[in-house]
Structure 1
Amino acid sequence: MNNFAGSIVSSSSDDESSDEDDLVLHKLLSAARNRMQQRGESSNTEKRHRISIYRDRMAAHELLVRDYFAPDSLYGLSKFEDRFRISRNLFLRIARDLENNYEFFQLRWDARGKRDFSTLQKCKAALRQLAYDIAADASDEYLKMSERTGRECAYLFCEYVIELYGDIYLRHPTRNDIKQLYDTHEAKHGLPGMLGNIDCTHWEWANCPNAWRGQFTRGDQGVPTIILEAVASHDLWIWHAFFGMAGGKAPNMLFVVNEHQYNYGYYLGVGIYQEYATFVKSYSFSADEKRKLFNLAQESARKGVERAFGVLKQK
Structure 2
Amino acid sequence: MDSDSDDNLVLHTLLSAAQDAISQRGETSHREKKHRKYINRDREAAHELLVRDYFAPDSLYDLSKFEDHFRISRNLFLRIASDLERNYEFFQLRWDARGKRGFTTVQKCTAALRQLGYGITADASDEYLKMSERTGRDCTYLFCEYVIELYRDIYLRHPTKSDVEQLYAAHEAKHGFPGMLGSIDCTHWEWANCPNAWRGQFTRGDHGVPTVILEAVVSNDLWFWHAFFGMAGSNNDLNVLHASPIFNDILQGKAPHMSYVVNGNEYKYGYYLGDGIYPEYATFVKSFSFPADEKRKLFKLAQESARKDVEKAFGVL
Shorter-chain TM-score category?
A: 0.7 to 0.9
The structure 2 residue matched to 1:63, chosen from 38, 49, 67, is 49
1:108 maps to what in 2?
A: 94
Identity value in percent: 77
The runs of 5 or more residues in structure 2 that have no matched partner are 1-22, 227-244
Structure 2 residue matching 1:201: 3-state secondary structure: strand
Residue 290 of structure 1 aligns with which residue?
A: 295
Q: How many Å separate the matches in 2 of 1:127 and 1:209?
A: 24
Any idea what SS the aligned residue of 2:314 has? helix
Q: Structure 1 residue 45: deviation in Å?
A: 6.8
Q: Following superposition of structure 1 onto structure 2, how do residues 203-218 of structure 1 map, counting pairs within 5 Å? A: 203-204=189-190, 206=192, 213-218=199-204
> Structure 2: which amino acid aligns with 1:137?
D
Which secondary structure does the structure 2 equivalent of 1:162 belong to?
Answer: helix
Distance 1:266 1:152, change over 3 A: same
Q: Give me the whole-angstrom Cα distance separating, in 1, the residues matched to 2:200 and 2:38.
A: 49
**Mapped pair 1:279 → 2:284:** yes
Query: Helix, strand or coil: the match of 2:225?
Result: coil
C-alpha root-mean-square deviation of aligned residues, in Å? 2.7
Contact 1:242 1:248 in 2 (8 A): no
Give the total of aligned pairs: 276
- Paired amino acid for 2:278: Y
What TM-score results when the alignment is normalised by the length of structure 1?
0.78
Residues 149-298 of structure 1 mapped to structure 2, 5 A cutoff: 149-204=135-190, 206=192, 213-221=199-207, 224-233=210-219, 234-239=221-226, 241-242=246-247, 245-247=250-252, 249-298=254-303
The answer to which of 220-229 and 94-103 deviates more is: 220-229
After superposition, what is the alpha-carbon deviation per residue over 1:145-177, rounded to whole angstroms, capped at 9, x for unaligned?
A: 001001111111122222222332233211111
Q: In the alignment, is the contact (CA less than 8 A) between 1:231 and 1:241 conserved in 2?
A: no
The residue number in structure 2 matching 1:142 is: 128
Structure (1 or 2) with the larger CA radius of gyration:
1
Q: Deviation at 1:262?
A: 1.1
- Which residue in the other structure is 2:59 paired with? 73
Query: Which residue does the alignment assign to 1:119?
Result: 105
Structure-2 separation of matches of 1:149 and 1:125: 9
5+ unaligned residues in a row in structure 1: which ranges?
Answer: 1-35
Closer, same or farther in 2 for the Cα pair 1:310/1:139, shift >3 Å? Answer: same
Q: Matches of 1:225 and 1:108 in 2, distance apart?
A: 40
Structure 2 Cα separation of the partners of residues 107 and 212 of structure 1: 42
C-alpha deviations, 1:290-309, integer Å up to 9, x for none?
Answer: 11111000011112222333
Give the C-alpha shift of residue 243 in structure 1: 5.3
Q: Distance in 2 between matches of 1:102 and 1:50?
A: 32
